[in-house]
Amino acid sequence: MNTRKRLWMAVALALAALVVVGMVLQAINQLVWQLSAVLPYGFVAPVLWLLLLALGALLLQLAWPWIRPVLQQRLGWPLGSGGSAGSSPQVASSRRQAAQQNLTAIDQTLERIRDAVERDVLSEERRRMEAELERGDLVLAVFGAGSAGKTSLIRALLGELVGTVGAAMGSTTSAGRYRLRLRGLERALWLVDTPGILEAGLAGQQRDAEARQQAAKADLLLLVVDGDLRATEMEVFNTLAALGKRLILVFNKCDLRGEQEEARLLELLRERCRGLISADDVIPTSAAPQSLPRPGGRPLQPPPEVEALVRRIAAVLHQDGEELIADNLLLQCRRLGEASRALLAQQRRSDAEAIVERTMWIGAGVLALNPLPVLDLLGAAAVNAQMVIEVAKVYGISLSRESAQDLAVSVAKTLAGLGLVKGAISVLSTSLSLTLPTLVVGRAIQAVSAAWLTRVAGLSFITYFAQNQDWGDGGMQEVVQQQYDLSRRDADLRRFLEAALNRVVAPLQRQKKTRQLPPRPQPRSSS
């Protein structure tokens, strides 16, 4: 049945194709006759070919959105907007290549940052990241409160004394690094003993911050606890787990618990960590077991019980070591890229706000000298095509004057349509009328209102260009209304009025006083 159905469909498609071909041939034949009637014989064929080529180009242009994905899929062409294979960035084949591409993008961003101090800090971090791409060792950072036995655990892992057991909380005041080899692992392993976390005081907060910096650079993380996760320890655990790196939770000092209590706490910890880390990554240890008294002799010191942890670390590093390094590098590169882009965005916003500031006071000065006859025209005075062009240029966007004018007019209509022009005049009239003499109040209100609306429009443009020429889900109206509401806040409005009094009102008052001065008496001529 299916074969017969496919056969009938093939016959129907063939007939339809024949009909279409016949119609096309008939149309071409009619076109030849019509061209022969109006053109010399030698021009008919060239004109016919030109018309057919134009028709083919038009059909290709219309069908290109459907043809392009097929070419990309079948031929592997990463076509860009210009249709060339080199116009689109190369897709990374590995995490290391992706990290290298991120570093290249960071270089391009850093070139546009003017702040030398910030740029140097990010550049130094970028150089460290490039060195990390070539490094051959894994980094394991150990975290935990001082009382959890963190340093004792590292000593047990290394098999030699690296710290003082039983030292007071906070004794590890800076990160210590220790290098060792695991059997069967080609890469060496660095153990980083981070400063103790969850400590009170300013020094404790500084050590906590340093520990978090070490976490951002490590490939594998260990969090050492000596019991159930308290609220503060749970917060640290969630913070480390949110970094997106492999995390092992070490339940230390198990020798102080009975077997049933140890099993209960181990199960409780695995339940609390469900969904964040694997149950196999919650490991019990006894890094420094308590000594056992012996009658008539020295106390017996049991050896550390860290074999389960060593086996788990070795298994993770053997199985996923290369992926851990690659993931860590890519994660650090992305965060550095985000930091550099945030700094560039801050610089751009500062530059754009300076343009808006300059434009609004220039416009206010012009209106103060030449007031408009109708206050409703303030909506048009509040926007300026040149301001749009300059703000767009700050964000690396080139706009024609026509496009900038269209955008300015759209915002002006939005200001008027939302009633913000009259609202601005009402807000500012109330504030200015109480402090200004009648002689200048009308002209001052016009000029200051125009400056304020220019500021609202300019901040709206900044939001638009900062979002890659996108007004967002709420459209232009929501952005304009939001900037208007933000500008009405008491602190912002107070700062604006203080500037307006100095830049607009004071010059107007001086101008009025100059015009009202009586003419100077002329000296009497001696006769």
Same domain, 202 and 274: yes
Nearest 5°: the CA angle 160, 143, 166 is 50
Instruction: Choose between 9 and 471: higher pLDDT.
Output: 471
Indicate if the pLDDT at residue 414 is higher than 70. Answer: yes
Quick check: is 80 in a domain?
no
Domain boundary among 268, 289, 310: 289
DSSP-assigned beta bridge partners for residue 221 = 141, 247
Q: 73: pLDDT confidence band, cut at 50, 70 and 90?
A: very low
Nearest to 52 by CA among 80, 24, 77, 86: 24
The overall average pLDDT reported for the chain is: 75
- Read off the pLDDT of each residue in 156-179 and give the average, rounded to a whole number: 55
> 396 with 278, same domain?
no
Max mean pLDDT range (108-117, 289-298, 466-475): 466-475
Give the pLDDT of residue 479: 92
pLDDT band at 164 (very low <50, low <70, confident <90, very high): very low
- Count of alpha carbons within 13 angstroms of residue 407, beta-carbon side: 25
Examine the domain organization and report whether 191 and 284 are in the same domain. Answer: yes
Q: Average pLDDT in the 244-267 region? A: 89
pLDDT at 15 (0 to 100): 83
The answer on pLDDT for 507 being more than 60 is yes
Quick check: is 8 in a domain?
no
Calculate mean pLDDT across residues 404-433: 78
Crossing angle, helix 307-369 and helix 95-110, to 10 degrees?
30
* Same structural domain, 379 and 264: no
Has residue 123 been placed in a domain?
no
Region for residue 247 given its phi and psi (left: phi exceeds 0; alpha: psi -120 to 50; beta: otherwise): beta
The yes-or-no verdict on residue 171 having pLDDT over 50 is: no
What is the CA angle 106-111-116, rounded to 5? Answer: 105
**Last residue of a domain, which of 258, 289, 320?**
289
User: Residue 150 is encoded by which pair of tokens?
Assistant: 């963190």
| Confidence at 422, pLDDT banded by 50, 70, 90 | confident
pLDDT of residue 3: 67
In a domain, 184, yes or no: yes
- Ordered strands of the 246-251 beta sheet: 176-180, 189-193, 138-144, 220-225, 246-251, 282-284
**Residue where a domain stops, chosen among 289, 317, 335:** 289
More confident residue, 186 or 155: 155
Write the CATH number for 167.
3.40.50.300
**272 and 371 assigned to the same domain:** no
Q: Which residue range(s) make up the domain with 185?
A: 135-289
Percent of the chain with pLDDT over 90: 12
Q: What is the pLDDT of residue 442?
A: 64
431 alpha carbon, distance to own chain's centre? 39
The C-alpha atoms of residue 335 and residue 122 are separated, in whole angstroms, by 11
Using DSSP, state whether 178 is helix, strand or coil.
strand
Structure tokens at 319: 């199985």
Q: Is residue 274 part of a domain?
A: yes
Of the candidate ranges 105-119, 220-234, 410-424, the one whose mean pLDDT is the lowest: 105-119
| Residue 257 within any structural domain of the chain | yes
Does 264 share its domain with 382?
Answer: no
pLDDT of residue 389: 92
pLDDT at 524 over 60: no
Q: How confident is the model at residue 75 (pLDDT cuts 50, 70, 90)?
A: very low
> Over the stretch 380-407, which tens digit does the pLDDT of each residue have?
444 578 899 999 999 989 988 888 888 8
Summarize the confidence of residues 51-66 as an average pLDDT: 71
- Using CA atoms, how far residue 452 sits from 206, 385, 428, 440, 503, in Å, is 44, 17, 9, 18, 13
Tell me if residue 397 falls in helix, strand or coil: coil
Q: Which of 246-255, 280-289, 309-318, 391-400 has the lowest mean pLDDT?
A: 309-318
Question: Given this model, what pLDDT does residue 86 score?
Answer: 40
Residues 261 and 367 reside in one and the same domain: no
Residue 491 near residue 417, CB atoms below 8 Å = no
Spatial distance between the Cα atoms of 527 and 524, rounded to a whole number of angstroms:
9
In a domain, 47, yes or no: no
Q: Is 295 exposed, middle or buried (0-12, 13-18, 19+ CB in 10 A)?
A: exposed
178 confidence band (pLDDT: 50, 70, 90): confident
Indicate whether 525 pLDDT > 60: no
What string of H, E and C letters represents the secondary structure of 424-447?
HHHHHHHHHHCCCCHHHHHHHHHH
Residue 259 binned pLDDT confidence (cut-offs 50, 70, 90): confident
Tokens of 371: 């007031």
Q: 434 pLDDT exceeds 60?
A: no
Q: Are both 397 and 261 inside the same structural domain?
A: no
Number of domains observed in the structure of the chain = 2
Number of C-beta neighbours around residue 398 at 10 A: 8
DSSP 102-146: HHHHHHHHHTT---HHHHHHHHHHHHHHHHHHH---EEEEEEE-G
Q: Tell me, yes or no, whether 186 and 272 share the same domain.
A: yes
Query: What amino acid occupies position 166?
Result: G
Asked whether 165 and 119 are in contact (CB, 8 A), the reply is: no
Q: How many CA atoms lie within 13 A of 187 on its CB side?
A: 20
CA atoms within 13 A on the CB side of 418: 22
Q: Residue 189 region, left (φ>0) first, then alpha (ψ -120 to 50), else beta? A: beta
Residues 181 and 257 occupy one common structural domain: yes
Answer yes or no: are the C-beta atoms of 163 and 141 closer than 8 Å: no
Q: Tell whether 277 and 352 lie within a shared domain.
A: no
Most confident of 125-139, 144-158, 177-191, 399-413: 399-413
Asked whether residue 457 is assigned to any structural domain, the reply reads yes
Section 357-376 average pLDDT: 68
Residues in Cβ contact with 502 at an 8 Å cutoff, skipping those fewer than 6 apart: none
| Res 355 pLDDT > 90 | yes
Asked if residue 179 lies in contact with residue 188, where contact means CB atoms within 8 angstroms, the answer is yes
- Whether residues 276 and 353 fall in one domain: no
Any idea what DSSP says for residue 219?
Answer: S
